[in-house]
Structure 1
Amino acid sequence: MYAEKSVVRVHRDLKVLTTLYPNPRTSETIILVNGSLATSASFNQSVRYLLPIFNVVLFDQPYQGQSRQHNPGMAMIDKQDEALILLDLIEQFRADHVLAFSWGSVATLLALAQRPKRIRSAVINSFSPVLNPDMQNYLDRAQQCLAACVRHAIGELINETIGEHLPSLFKRCNFLHVSSLEEFEYAQMLMHVRQVRELDASQYMSCFGHIDVPLLFVNGKWDRYASPEDARQFATLASQSEFATIAHTGHFLELEHKTALQDVQAAVERFLLRGRMQKGETRLAMAG
């Protein structure tokens, strides 16, 4: 796949490494927002099924992956900063849609609450507005490991909790990646965990109630940490919410097996392309 890489200056004079996969057959662009401790490389499967219908933009947060080298000595950033970074990138790449995964969804929803004019729809994967007992326990253990910077414990924790349904090869790759990050990245993640835990239902309601574009929430049936039932509470927070449950699948959705990939692709394509069809039907009606 042909890709165009560039370093873009964003909020707070930070720099992010972006990757654009252009599709000459469309003018529509989707930007992907990865989860905590992950990089844009985690979206390899998503790019493959999105590229035939969109221009696809990936990026690493200023403290992550290939962006890290461009921000020496940077101060830590919070989820509001990440939301402003996303808003800058939406304008830079003239994005029409957003797809976010797991904790990347917090910054994405905060950005959407600002009602960016260009965005027409968003997909939110493996996220819910509820910190249920399983998620609370996971975050308790994560805070301890991150604060102590015990690398192998962080990698093992992720694989035995949210990554419990990943194939063994993916678990190995996951462990190697997570256990080899810099101390600054662990400190950044610890800050985000603490910030997310401070968000209560009323804060979600006051913020996400401003979102005025269609949202599709995709959750794995076996995900104990962001369950489909918990995700459906977004129906009372965001008025245009839709939901898709992927059978026999946990938190990492399409990375867990081939059928999950096919089911996620079908749900996402159906949602995003329906908006394109409705837009086309509106144009035809106006022409008629």
Structure 2
Amino acid sequence: MKPATAVIDINRTYKVHTEFYANPAARKTIILVNGSLATTASFAQTLRYLHPHFNVVLYDQPYAGQSKPHNSHNRPISKEDEANILLELIEHFQANHLLSFSWGGVAAMLALAQHPARIENAVISSFSPRLNRPMLDYLGNALTHLHAVDGDSVGHLINNTIGQYLPSLFKRYNHRHISSLDTHEYLQMHSHISQVMHSDTHCQLEHLATIETPLLFVNGEHDAYTSPEDIRLFEGTIKRCQFATIDNAGHFLDMEHKNAWLQCRAVLLGFLLGPARATTGYRAQTDLQHAIAV
């Protein structure tokens, strides 16, 4: 499947590369928010089970992927900037649903706290409101390597921690991608992590409590960094939320093995479409593509 691509001007400040995967039979559109250091390629596996049901929108942050040539990189982009970019893209593509992965959950939830009227429901995957000890250790080591602009060490760190359950081919693609980024991308992630680690609260629970959009939080059973237990901190804080755990999966969920892919497909479609419309009639694709999301 080949998307329609466009570069969208966001408030005359940023230019964002977008990919629109049209489905003539679909009545709804879903927009996907990837994690730090990621590109649209990070959703290659997810796209396979969403596109039969939705129009799908992917995009690169201004500092990443195919958005890079269209922007200056003289200062890091804040999580508030990323939330505003997302809100503009929701309106531009008239998106009805949202799916975020990992650190993309910060921008997604900040955007949802502004009550975008078009969004009917949203999935927040591999995210946690709590920085637990494994995550703090990972972020501390990442800061050291990012400050030194040591892409090789950043790549090994990711594969040995949050990416430990990825197939070996994915790990090779991840390392190749991460070790060859531009300097400003490492500095962008350094700024993001520094902001997170030195703030009083990771994700402003009181502010996010105003979210009215129905949410599904999805985490991997073996993910020590954004764990199924820690995500339950949102229980009782966000009014309309559900939780799902993918068995025998780590942080990268549907990228890790076929059964995790099948579980993710069933869980996400069951929530986004409702049980009556979700189907299990699609076979998992086994060819691996470049994918990285943090």
Q: TM-score range by the shorter chain?
A: over 0.9
Contact preservation (8 Å) 2:73, 2:184: no
Q: Which amino acid aligns with 1:86?
A: L
The range that moved more, 70-79 or 125-134, is: 70-79
How much does 1:249 deviate? 0.6
Higher mean alpha-carbon deviation, 237-246 vs 70-79, is at 70-79
Cα distance in structure 2, aligned partners of 1:32 and 1:275: 21
Deviation at residue 12 of structure 1 after TM alignment: 5.2
**Equivalent residue for 2:17?**
17
SS of the residue corresponding to residue 172 of structure 2 reads helix
CA distance in 1, matches of 2:132, 2:159: 19
Bigger relative contact order, structure 1 or 2, given CA contacts below 8 A and separation 6+? 2
Per the alignment, in what secondary structure is the counterpart of residue 84 of structure 1? helix
SS of corresponding position for 1:192: helix
- Which residue number corresponds to residue 285 of structure 1? none
CA deviation after TM superposition for structure 1 residue 241, in Å: 1.0
CA distance in 2, matches of 1:274, 1:255: 24
Q: TM-score, normalized by length of structure 1?
A: 0.93
Matched, 1:104 2:104: yes
Residues 1:84 and 1:56: Cα distance change in structure 2 (over 3 Å): same
Q: What corresponds to 1:139 in structure 2? A: 139
The Cα of 1:206 is off from its aligned counterpart by 2.0
How much has 1:2 moved relative to structure 2?
3.0
Quote the Cα distance in structure 2 between the aligned partners of 1:45 and 1:131.
27
For the pair 1:227 / 2:227, whether they are aligned, the reply is: yes
Q: Deviations for 1:153-173, whole angstroms, at most 9, x for unmatched residues?
A: 100000000001111111110
Deviation readout 1:103-148 (Å, 9 max, x if unpaired): 0100000000000111111001100101000000000000111011
Question: Residue in 1 aligned with 2:212?
Answer: 212
Query: Cα RMSD over matched residues?
Result: 1.5
Amino acid of the structure 1 residue aligned with 2:141 = R
- TM-fit CA distance, 1:73: 4.3
Gaps in structure 2 of 5+ consecutive residues: 278-294
Higher helix share: 1
User: Are the structure 2 counterparts of residues 158 and 276 from structure 1 closer, same or farther at C-alpha, using a change threshold of 3 Å?
Assistant: same
Q: Deviations for 1:192-244, whole angstroms, at most 9, x for unmatched residues?
A: 11122244459622211110011001100000000000011111321111000
Is contact 1:105-1:127 (8 Å) kept?
yes
Q: Answer whether contact 2:222 2:250 (CA < 8 A) is retained.
A: yes
Q: Confirm or deny: 8 A CA contact 1:2 1:22 kept in the other structure.
A: no
CA contact (8 A) 1:11 1:81 kept: no
In the other structure, the counterpart of 2:77 is: 77
Helix, strand or coil for the counterpart of 2:8? strand
